[in-house]
Amino acid sequence: MKFSDIIGNRRAVERLRDMIDNDRLPHALLLHGAPGVPKLALARAAAQYLHCTNRTPDGDSCGHCPACLQHQTFNHTDTTFSFPYLKKDDASTCADYLPQWREFLAQYPVEDYQAWLTILKNDNSQPRIFVKESEAILNRMTLSAYVSKYKVLIMWLPEKLRDDAANKLLKLIEEPYDDCKFILVSDDAKAILPTIFSRTQRIELTRPCTEETAALLERTAGLDHREAIALAATADGNVVEAMHLLDSKGENIEFHERFVTLMRLAYSRDLPRLKAWSESVADFKREKACRFLAYAARQVRENYIYNLRMPELNYLTPQEEQFSTRFAPFINAGNVEQLQTLLDTAARDIRGNANARIVLFDTAVSTTILIKR
C-alpha cells in the first residue's frame, strides 16, 4: 500500500509523510474517522513508507525494495497486526487468524468490517481483542526490530479491546520501547477506552468526495466516468459502500426496470397490471423491497433535478438518463415531495412489518394520482 493508493485525505497523508520524513512519528498514533474511510489502508501505507529503503523523490514508498515487497504481501518482519477476533480457546490470539487476515487485506484495499465478520464466520458472538493478544503484543514488542529501525504495531479497531486487554497495554503505550511505533485505527474514537485514547496523538480522516471515490471506481472497476460518479454519489463518500453498490449493480438495473414499469403503468392507470407489479415487488425479501423503494425515491429526486438542466447536480447512469429524457417533465414542484414521502413511508411501513403487497399496491395507486399533477 502506497500513499498514492489512498483515496482523498491528502492533508492526512501529508502530515504522516512529514512526521516520518522528520523522524517525528509519535509512538502512539490514532487514525480515526467514519467507517468506509480508508484508515487501515493509510496505516499500512505509513508503515510501508517508514520501512521502505528507497523512498521516491515525490515522497512515497518505492514498491520494489525488499521491505516494500514484504509489506505488499502482508509479511513484513517488523510489522504486526492486531485486530478483533473470535476466541477459539483461552490461548487464542490474532496469530491464529493470520491466513484469514492476509486474505482480508488482499481482498479489501479499504477495510470493511462486515467483510471481516463474514471471513471470521461470525456466529453472533462479538469479535474482540482479548487479553491473550495483549500479552502476545507485550512479548513481541520486547524483541528488538529485526531489519528496520522501527517495529510497528497496527491495531485495527482498538474500540474492540476488552478492558482487561486494554489495561495490559497501558504501560507499553505510555512508556514504549524506543524502536516501537503503535498505529491505532478506529471507526469510532469515542468508544475507545479513555485511558488509551488520551495516550495517543490523533489524526482524523474524512470521507473522500464524490470525484475522489469515482476516480477509484473508474480505476479499479473500469466504470465509465458517469457511471462511477452516479455510484460514488449514492455512497456519499463511503468507499466500502461504493464497492457494495458496485457489487449490486445488477440489482440497480433490475430496480430501474421496476421503477420504469411503475411509472408507465401509473401514468396509464392500469390498475390490474399495477396489482401484478406490487405483488412482484412484494416477492422481494423485505430488505430488498426497502432498497428498491429507496432507489425509487432517489430516482424521483434525480428526475426533478434533471428538469433544472444542471448536469453537475445530477447522478444518473446512462440507462437512467435515457429514461429521464422523456420522464423527467412528469416530476415537478407539485408532486416531487409527495412522491418521495409516499415511497419513504412505504419503506418504513414494510420495515415495521406491514403487509408488503397491500403497502405496495397502495403506493402504486397513489402514484397514479400524483404523476398527473
Task: Strand 79-82: give its sheet, edge to edge.
Answer: 79-82, 151-156, 180-186, 28-32, 201-204
Q: How far apart are CA 84 and CA 100, in angstroms?
A: 12
Choose which of 61, 93, 213, 252 interacts with Zn ion (CB under 5 A).
Answer: 61
CB of 53 vs Zn ion, minimal distance in Å: 6
CB within 8 Å of 61: residues ≥ 6 apart: 2, 3, 45, 48, 49, 51, 52, 55, 67, 68, 71
CB of 45 vs Zn ion, minimal distance in Å: 12
Of 1, 167, 150, nearest in space to 78 by CA: 150
Choose which of 31, 45, 52, 184 interacts with Zn ion (CB under 5 A).
Answer: 52
Residues 269, 273, 277, CA angle at the centre, nearest 5°?
A: 110
CB of 16 vs Zn ion, minimal distance in Å: 16
**Which residue bears the cell 474492540?**
160
Stretch that binds Zn ion, among 54-62, 73-81, 278-286, 345-353 (CB under 5 A): 54-62
Can you name the residues that pair with 203 across neighbouring β-strands?
31
When the beta carbons of 154 and 281 are compared against Zn ion, the nearer one is 154
When the beta carbons of 69 and 143 are compared against Zn ion, the nearer one is 69
The reply to whether 59 sits near Zn ion by the rule CB under 5 A is no
Site for Zn ion in 4-43 (CB under 5 A): none
The reply to whether 265 sits near Zn ion by the rule CB under 5 A is no
CB of 67 vs Zn ion, minimal distance in Å: 5
CB of 79 vs Zn ion, minimal distance in Å: 13
Residue 61 per-residue DSSP state: -
When the beta carbons of 76 and 207 are compared against Zn ion, the nearer one is 76
The reply to whether 50 sits near Zn ion by the rule CB under 5 A is no
CB of 71 vs Zn ion, minimal distance in Å: 8
C-alpha cell at 120: 471470521
The reply to whether 66 sits near Zn ion by the rule CB under 5 A is no
When the beta carbons of 149 and 351 are compared against Zn ion, the nearer one is 149
**Other Cβ atoms within 10 Å of 303 Cβ, number:** 25
The reply to whether 1 sits near Zn ion by the rule CB under 5 A is no
When the beta carbons of 62 and 209 are compared against Zn ion, the nearer one is 62
Q: How far apart are CA 231 and CA 226, in angstroms?
A: 9
The reply to whether 189 sits near Zn ion by the rule CB under 5 A is no
235 close to 227: Cβ distance less than 8 angstroms: no
Sketch the per residue contact string, 280 through 319, with Zn ion: x for CB under 5 A, - otherwise.
----------------------------------------
Stretch that binds Zn ion, among 58-66, 195-203, 257-265, 347-355 (CB under 5 A): 58-66
The reply to whether 62 sits near Zn ion by the rule CB under 5 A is yes
Of 205, 35, 203, nearest in space to 110 by CA: 35
Q: How far apart are CA 37 and CA 19, in angstroms?
A: 21
Nearest 5°: phi and psi at 33? 165, 175
Residues that bind Zn ion (CB under 5 A): 52, 54, 61-62, 65, 68
